[in-house]
Amino acid sequence: MATSTGAAKPSPNLVYQTLNAYQGTAALRAAIDLDVFTAIGEGVDTAATLATRCKAAERGVRILCDYLTILGFLTKQDRRYALTPDSAMFLDRRSPASMASTSGFLTLPGTVTAFMSLADAIRSGRPALGGEGSISAENPVWVEFARSMAPMTRPVAEEMAKVLDAGAGRKWKVLDIAAGHGTFGIALAKHNPNAEVFSQDWAPVLEVALENARAAGVEARIHRLPGSAFEVEFGAGYDVVLVTNFLHHFDPPAIETLLRKIRGALAPGGMVVTLDFVPNEDRVTPTRAAAFAMTMLGTTPSGDAYTAAEYLRMFQNAGFSSNDVRPVMASGHSLILSRV
Amino acid sequence: MATSTGAAKPSPNLVYQTLNAYQGTAALRAAIDLDVFTAIGEGVDTAATLATRCKAAERGVRILCDYLTILGFLTKQDRRYALTPDSAMFLDRRSPASMASTSGFLTLPGTVTAFMSLADAIRSGRPALGGEGSISAENPVWVEFARSMAPMTRPVAEEMAKVLDAGAGRKWKVLDIAAGHGTFGIALAKHNPNAEVFSQDWAPVLEVALENARAAGVEARIHRLPGSAFEVEFGAGYDVVLVTNFLHHFDPPAIETLLRKIRGALAPGGMVVTLDFVPNEDRVTPTRAAAFAMTMLGTTPSGDAYTAAEYLRMFQNAGFSSNDVRPVMASGHSLILSRV
C-alpha cells in the first residue's frame, strides 16, 4: 500500500502508479497461473528457457518477468531472474508456505471487473458485484474461496488454537460458522482430540472443508450443518463458537440477529470466538484491517470493517457481557472473545 | 511502484498488496468519477456532506475516502478529510495541472478486464485485448486517449518545444505522426509562429486535435492527414517530424518500415523527434519507462519499450546516421533526435 511521502514538491507519480496498479494484480496473477515462480525457483532463469518451460511466448515472459522485477518479486542480473526471499517462501509452489492459490479468489475476474464500476456502486448504494453481491444464497464464489484461501489461513488458525489453549484437551463441542475451507475448526480438532466440530456453510463449500479434514486426519470429528448461518438449525450446548471472517459481510442489525441465535446455542460458560479485521477508531489504521472495508464495499450491500467499539455494542445488544479484543494476528486480524 | 525492501524475514505483505492493487485503481477511478477531490478541495470534508454533494450513499463515500487516505491521496483528522499537496495539484479539477481526466483512458474497463487474462495472452503470444489490440484500424480507444491524456502531456510538450528551440521562429514544416490530442504539434505552433503543422491520425481523433488547436489559437496552422501512419501520403519537405508515444506499439520491422517512409518525407537537414519510454539495457530501470512494456504486452501484438541501442539499430537500418537520445523528460520519457 503506497503511503504519502510528504515530499515538498507535488508529484503525479502516486496518481499514475495507482491508475496503473491493476497491472500489478494482473501480472502477479499471470505469473502464478504460468507458475513462473516455481520454474525460477528450480533454476529456469532466462526469458527463453522460462518460455519453453511455461509453454508461452518469450516476449510475454520477458516483459512479465521484468515487470515482476520492478514490483520487487524477482531480481535480475545479466538477463537471469532469481526469486526474492518473499517469492521463494510465498509464491514458489514447492514452499510449504506458498500462497500461490490465493490469487484464484483474491483476483476473481468478475470481482475485478465489477470494481471498475465502483462509482456507480457508491452512487446507488449497491455492491459493485450487483444484486446481493457475495452474500447471495449458495454463491459459488465460496467454493473458490475454500479452495484458494486455506494456505493463507493456516498460520492464523494455528495462532487461534494457541490463544484458545486447544492443546489442553478440554471436552469441546465446537460450532464453526461459515467454515469455508474448514481450517479453523480443523486446527482446533487437531490440537484438541476431545473436540467435536460442527461446520456450517453452503453444502458444496463443506465438501472442501471435509476434504481438508480428511487430509488432516480429523474427518471423524467434523460434522456438517449445510445451509445459511441465518437459517440452519445449529443445535445447542456449544463450548466454542467460531465466527471467522464472516460478520464483516453484514450490517449491525443482521449481525445482532445472528449473535442472538448463537447465544441461544451456547453451553453455560461457552465462548464466541470472532476473527475479523478490526480497524482503529480512525478507520484508516492499521492499514490492512482498515483497507478491508473496500472489499466489503465492492462485494456486499452493507458489509464493513467494524471497529472494536462497534463490535462491543453489537455483542452487548445481543446479550453478551464480556468482549475481549486481541489485535494480535500476524494476518492483520483481531480476535474477539465474547461470553454471555 | 512497490520495491523490495530487502527485509530479513520474508513477508506475504507484498503478495497480498499486489493481488489487491486493482482496488486502488478502482478507488481512484471512482473518486475521480464522483469528483470527490474537487469537493474536498472546496471544503466539503465529511462523509455525510460529501455524500450529499456527490449524490452518493454515505457508507460508500466514507469507505472510499478512508481507502484514499490509506493510499496517501487524502488525510483524515477527526472524521474530516483534506487533500494532500499531490491531490490538490493533480486531482482537484479546479487545478490547472489536474490530470483527473487521464483515468478515462488509463483505466478503460475493457483494458482492465482484458489484463485479468494476461496468462492466456502470454501463452498465445496475442494481446490480452484480443485481435490486433489497440493498434487495430480506427480503434475508438484513440478518441478516448485524445480526450483524456492532454493534461498529462502538456508539460512534456512544453519541455520538447524548449529542447527544439521552437521559440527561435525558424520556418518549419512539421509532420505530427499519431497526433492524438495534438498537444505536441500545437506546442510547436504556439512557440513558433512560423511553423505549419500537418497532423496525422484517425479522422475522429484529429477532430479532438483540432478542437485543442482552436483553444490554443493555432488552428489555422494545423492541417489534417487522416488515416494510418503506414498508409497515408505524408507529402514531403518536412523540417521536423514528431513521432510521439507511437513507435512502442510495433515490432522492429514495422518501425523500420515507417522510419524509411518518414526519411523519404524529410527536407534536407530535417530531423525526426521521437518521444518514447526508453528503458536502460537492463529493461527494469528507470521504473516508469521499463514498466511501460507491460502496457504494450497487454494491448498490442508485438509492441515494447525499446532500449536506446534497439532504437539506434532501427534508425540505422532505416538510413539515419545520427541519433541523440536525451532521457530528460519529467514524465519518464526520452527524446530521440535523429537525422539522415
Number of CB atoms found within 10 A of residue A263's CB: 18
Residues of chain A positioned with their CB less than 8 A from the CB of B67: 291, 293-294
Q: Which of these, A204, A67, A236, lies nearest to B122 by C-alpha position?
A: A67
Gap between the Cα atoms of A238 and B10, Å rounded: 38
pLDDT at B94: 96
Q: Average pLDDT in the B67-94 region?
A: 97
Gap between the Cα atoms of B143 and B138, Å rounded: 9
The rounded percent of chain A whose pLDDT value lies above 90 is 81
Burial of B10 (C-beta count, 10 Å sphere; 0-12/13-18/19+): middle
The answer to whether the Cβ–Cβ distance between B30 and A60 falls below 8 Å is no
Return the bridge partners of B242, or none: B176, B273
The answer to whether the Cβ–Cβ distance between A29 and B109 falls below 8 Å is no
- pLDDT above 50: residue B257: yes
Q: Average pLDDT in the A200-213 region?
A: 97
Number of CB atoms found within 10 A of residue B293's CB: 25
Contacts 24+ apart (CB under 8 A), A315-318: A315/A259, A315/A272, A317/A256, A317/A259, A318/A256, A318/A259, A318/A260, A318/A262, A318/A263
Eight-class DSSP state of B221: G
Q: Which three cell numbers stand for residue A299?
A: 462485494
User: Which tens digit of pLDDT belongs to each residue from A29-63?
Assistant: 999 999 999 999 999 999 999 999 999 999 999 99
If you write DSSP's letter for every residue of A243-295 in order, what string do you get? Answer: EES-GGGS-HHHHHHHHHHHHHHEEEEEEEEEEE----TTSS-SHHHHHHHHH
The rounded percent of chain B whose pLDDT value lies above 70 is 97
- pLDDT above 60: residue A1: no
pLDDT at B131: 83
Confidence class of residue A328 from pLDDT cuts 50, 70 and 90? low
Query: Is B197 in the A-facing interface, judged by CB distances under 8 Å?
Result: no
Beta-strand relationship, B266-276 and B195-201: unpaired
Helical (H) or strand (E) element with B133: none
Distance from CA of B50 to the nearest CA of A (A): 11
Of A204-208, B3-7, B86-90, B202-206, the least confident: B3-7
Mean model confidence pLDDT for chain A = 94
Q: Which three cell numbers stand for residue A258?
A: 445472528
Residue B250 sits at the vertex; the CA angle it makes with B149 and B26, to the nearest 5 degrees, is: 40
Which residue reads 507484498 in cell numbers? B14
More confident residue, B152 or A209: A209
Number of CB atoms found within 10 A of residue A230's CB: 10
Q: Which three cell numbers stand for residue B39?
A: 469537493
pLDDT at A3: 44
Helical (H) or strand (E) element with B140: none
Distance from CA of B233 to the nearest CA of A (A): 32
Return the bridge partners of A24, or none: none
Q: Average pLDDT in the A212-226 region?
A: 97
Gap between the Cα atoms of B212 and B219, Å rounded: 8
User: Which tens digit of pLDDT belongs to each residue from B107-148?
Assistant: 998 899 999 999 999 999 999 888 888 888 888 889 888 888
Gap between the Cα atoms of B101 and B37, Å rounded: 13
For B265, residues 6+ apart whose C-beta sits below 8 A from its C-beta are B175, B234, B235, B236, B237, B238, B241
Mean model confidence pLDDT for chain B = 94
User: Which tens digit of pLDDT belongs to each residue from A86-141?
Assistant: 999 999 999 988 999 889 889 998 899 999 999 999 999 999 888 888 888 888 88
pLDDT at B328: 66
pLDDT at B5: 47
pLDDT at B36: 98
Gap between the Cα atoms of A177 and A272, Å rounded: 10
Eight-class DSSP state of B129: T
Beta-strand relationship, A80-83 and A74-77: antiparallel
Longest Cα–Cα distance of chain B, Å, equals: 67
Residue in B with minimal Cα distance to A31: B119
Quote the ipTM score: 0.94
- pLDDT above 80: residue A174: yes
Q: Is there a cis peptide before residue A85, judged by omega within 30 degrees of 0?
A: no
pLDDT at A8: 62
Residue in B with minimal Cα distance to A113: B113
Residue in A with minimal Cα distance to B113: A113
Q: Which of these, B163, B168, B169, lies nearest to B244 by C-alpha position?
A: B163
Q: Which of residues 67-126 of B touch A (CB under 8 A)?
A: 67, 69-73, 75-76, 84-86, 88-91, 99, 102-103, 106-107, 109, 112-113, 115-119, 121-125
Longest Cα–Cα distance of chain A, Å, equals: 67
Number of CB atoms found within 10 A of residue A13's CB: 17
Mean pLDDT highest for which of A11-15, A123-127, B11-15, B200-204? B200-204
- pLDDT above 70: residue A284: yes
For A173, residues 6+ apart whose C-beta sits below 8 A from its C-beta are A195, A196, A198, A237, A238, A239, A240, A267
pLDDT at A160: 95
- pLDDT above 80: residue B251: yes
